[in-house]
Amino acid sequence: MVKKKTHLPAERIEKSILHVRGQKVMLDADLADLYGVETKVLLQAVKRKIDRFPDDFAFQLTKQEFNDLRSQSVTSRGWGGRRYPPYVFTEQGVAMLSSVLNSKRAIQVNIEIIRAFVRLRKMLAGHEKLASKIEKLEKKDDAQFKVVFEVIHHLMTPPDKKSRKIGFRKEE
Protein backbone atom coordinates (compact mmCIF):
# COMPACT_ATOMS: atom_id res chain seq x y z
CA MET A 1 0.00 0.00 0.00
CA VAL A 2 1.34 3.41 -0.98
CA LYS A 3 1.28 5.95 1.80
CA LYS A 4 -0.22 9.18 0.50
CA LYS A 5 1.27 12.27 2.12
CA THR A 6 -0.90 15.25 2.99
CA HIS A 7 0.36 18.79 3.23
CA LEU A 8 -0.72 19.15 6.84
CA PRO A 9 2.04 19.81 9.34
CA ALA A 10 1.54 17.67 12.45
CA GLU A 11 2.29 20.71 14.60
CA ARG A 12 -0.70 22.56 13.15
CA ILE A 13 -3.02 19.70 14.05
CA GLU A 14 -1.51 19.24 17.52
CA LYS A 15 -1.96 22.95 18.29
CA SER A 16 -5.64 22.60 17.39
CA ILE A 17 -6.22 19.90 20.00
CA LEU A 18 -7.69 21.45 23.14
CA HIS A 19 -8.64 20.18 26.59
CA VAL A 20 -12.32 20.62 27.42
CA ARG A 21 -14.28 18.76 30.12
CA GLY A 22 -11.28 16.51 30.69
CA GLN A 23 -11.17 15.39 27.07
CA LYS A 24 -8.94 16.17 24.12
CA VAL A 25 -11.11 17.80 21.45
CA MET A 26 -10.95 19.86 18.28
CA LEU A 27 -13.16 22.83 17.40
CA ASP A 28 -15.57 22.63 14.49
CA ALA A 29 -13.93 25.67 12.83
CA ASP A 30 -10.44 24.14 13.05
CA LEU A 31 -11.69 20.87 11.57
CA ALA A 32 -13.56 22.66 8.79
CA ASP A 33 -10.39 24.59 7.96
CA LEU A 34 -8.36 21.38 7.81
CA TYR A 35 -10.98 19.68 5.62
CA GLY A 36 -11.16 22.70 3.34
CA VAL A 37 -14.89 23.35 3.91
CA GLU A 38 -16.92 26.04 5.64
CA THR A 39 -17.80 25.41 9.29
CA LYS A 40 -21.47 25.65 8.32
CA VAL A 41 -21.04 22.85 5.75
CA LEU A 42 -19.26 20.62 8.28
CA LEU A 43 -22.00 21.10 10.88
CA GLN A 44 -24.77 20.52 8.33
CA ALA A 45 -23.17 17.20 7.38
CA VAL A 46 -22.91 16.24 11.06
CA LYS A 47 -26.53 17.23 11.80
CA ARG A 48 -27.78 15.15 8.85
CA LYS A 49 -26.18 12.09 10.52
CA ILE A 50 -26.49 13.23 14.16
CA ASP A 51 -27.12 9.65 15.38
CA ARG A 52 -23.46 8.91 14.58
CA PHE A 53 -22.30 11.58 17.06
CA PRO A 54 -23.27 10.76 20.66
CA ASP A 55 -22.18 13.16 23.43
CA ASP A 56 -18.86 11.38 23.91
CA PHE A 57 -18.03 11.96 20.20
CA ALA A 58 -19.17 15.59 19.83
CA PHE A 59 -20.84 18.26 21.93
CA GLN A 60 -21.53 21.96 21.88
CA LEU A 61 -19.59 24.14 24.30
CA THR A 62 -21.51 26.17 26.85
CA LYS A 63 -21.28 29.94 26.56
CA GLN A 64 -19.03 29.99 29.65
CA GLU A 65 -16.69 27.31 28.23
CA PHE A 66 -16.52 29.23 24.96
CA ASN A 67 -15.72 32.52 26.74
CA ASP A 68 -13.07 30.79 28.86
CA LEU A 69 -11.53 29.25 25.77
CA ARG A 70 -11.54 32.56 23.94
CA SER A 71 -9.92 34.36 26.87
CA GLN A 72 -7.14 31.73 27.08
CA SER A 73 -6.21 32.29 23.45
CA VAL A 74 -3.64 35.05 23.07
CA THR A 75 -4.40 35.60 19.41
CA SER A 76 -7.80 35.67 17.80
CA ARG A 77 -8.65 32.44 16.03
CA GLY A 78 -11.47 33.95 14.02
CA TRP A 79 -14.18 32.99 16.52
CA GLY A 80 -15.45 36.52 17.05
CA GLY A 81 -18.47 36.58 14.73
CA ARG A 82 -20.16 33.40 15.96
CA ARG A 83 -23.71 33.58 17.21
CA TYR A 84 -23.54 30.24 18.99
CA PRO A 85 -20.79 28.44 20.89
CA PRO A 86 -18.87 25.99 18.69
CA TYR A 87 -19.14 22.25 18.59
CA VAL A 88 -16.12 20.20 19.55
CA PHE A 89 -15.20 16.69 18.45
CA THR A 90 -13.33 14.05 20.43
CA GLU A 91 -10.94 11.62 18.78
CA GLN A 92 -13.83 9.23 18.15
CA GLY A 93 -15.91 12.07 16.71
CA VAL A 94 -13.12 13.02 14.35
CA ALA A 95 -12.91 9.38 13.20
CA MET A 96 -16.67 9.40 12.62
CA LEU A 97 -16.38 12.53 10.47
CA SER A 98 -14.74 10.44 7.75
CA SER A 99 -18.02 8.57 7.30
CA VAL A 100 -19.95 11.84 7.03
CA LEU A 101 -17.52 13.75 4.81
CA ASN A 102 -16.82 11.49 1.87
CA SER A 103 -13.92 13.18 0.12
CA LYS A 104 -10.35 12.03 -0.39
CA ARG A 105 -9.13 15.09 1.50
CA ALA A 106 -11.40 14.26 4.46
CA ILE A 107 -9.98 10.75 4.64
CA GLN A 108 -6.37 11.98 4.51
CA VAL A 109 -7.02 14.72 7.07
CA ASN A 110 -8.69 12.19 9.40
CA ILE A 111 -5.66 9.90 9.18
CA GLU A 112 -3.33 12.76 10.14
CA ILE A 113 -5.59 13.93 12.99
CA ILE A 114 -5.87 10.43 14.45
CA ARG A 115 -2.08 10.13 14.29
CA ALA A 116 -1.76 13.43 16.19
CA PHE A 117 -4.13 12.16 18.91
CA VAL A 118 -2.06 8.97 19.20
CA ARG A 119 1.19 10.96 19.50
CA LEU A 120 -0.29 13.08 22.27
CA ARG A 121 -1.51 9.99 24.09
CA LYS A 122 1.98 8.46 23.92
CA MET A 123 3.59 11.65 25.23
CA LEU A 124 1.15 11.83 28.14
CA ALA A 125 1.73 8.18 28.95
CA GLY A 126 5.49 8.84 29.08
CA HIS A 127 5.00 11.68 31.56
CA GLU A 128 2.71 9.57 33.72
CA LYS A 129 5.26 6.73 33.81
CA LEU A 130 8.03 9.13 34.87
CA ALA A 131 5.88 10.67 37.61
CA SER A 132 4.94 7.25 38.97
CA LYS A 133 8.59 6.14 38.99
CA ILE A 134 9.60 9.22 40.99
CA GLU A 135 6.72 8.64 43.39
CA LYS A 136 7.77 5.01 43.89
CA LEU A 137 11.33 6.11 44.58
CA GLU A 138 10.13 8.63 47.17
CA LYS A 139 8.06 5.98 48.92
CA LYS A 140 10.93 3.51 49.04
CA ASP A 141 12.25 2.98 52.58
CA ASP A 142 15.85 3.06 51.47
CA ALA A 143 17.78 5.42 53.78
CA GLN A 144 19.99 6.69 50.95
CA PHE A 145 16.97 7.82 48.92
CA LYS A 146 15.43 9.42 51.99
CA VAL A 147 18.52 11.55 52.47
CA VAL A 148 18.62 12.50 48.79
CA PHE A 149 14.97 13.58 48.80
CA GLU A 150 15.45 15.55 52.02
CA VAL A 151 18.33 17.42 50.39
CA ILE A 152 16.25 18.04 47.24
CA HIS A 153 13.33 19.37 49.30
CA HIS A 154 15.75 21.53 51.33
CA LEU A 155 17.22 22.97 48.12
CA MET A 156 13.75 23.65 46.74
CA THR A 157 12.65 25.74 49.73
CA PRO A 158 13.71 29.37 49.53
CA PRO A 159 16.03 30.59 52.29
CA ASP A 160 14.62 32.76 55.06
CA LYS A 161 15.63 36.33 54.45
CA LYS A 162 16.37 38.27 57.61
CA SER A 163 15.12 41.78 57.28
CA ARG A 164 17.68 44.48 57.68
CA LYS A 165 16.87 47.81 59.23
CA ILE A 166 16.73 50.64 56.77
CA GLY A 167 18.88 53.70 57.32
CA PHE A 168 22.24 54.51 58.92
CA ARG A 169 23.48 52.46 61.83
CA LYS A 170 25.56 53.88 64.59
CA GLU A 171 28.60 51.70 65.26
CA GLU A 172 29.20 50.97 68.91
CATH number for 17: 3.10.260
Q: Using one digit for the tens of pLDDT, what is the confidence trace for 89-119?
A: 998 898 888 778 877 787 788 788 888 888 8
Structural domain includes residue 144: no
Structural domain includes residue 70: yes
Structural domain includes residue 168: no
How is residue 167 annotated by DSSP? S
Structural domain includes residue 129: no
Q: For residue 91, what are the domain limits? A: 10-123
Structural domain includes residue 141: no
pTM of the entire predicted model: 0.61
Structural domain includes residue 4: no
State the total domains in the chain: 1
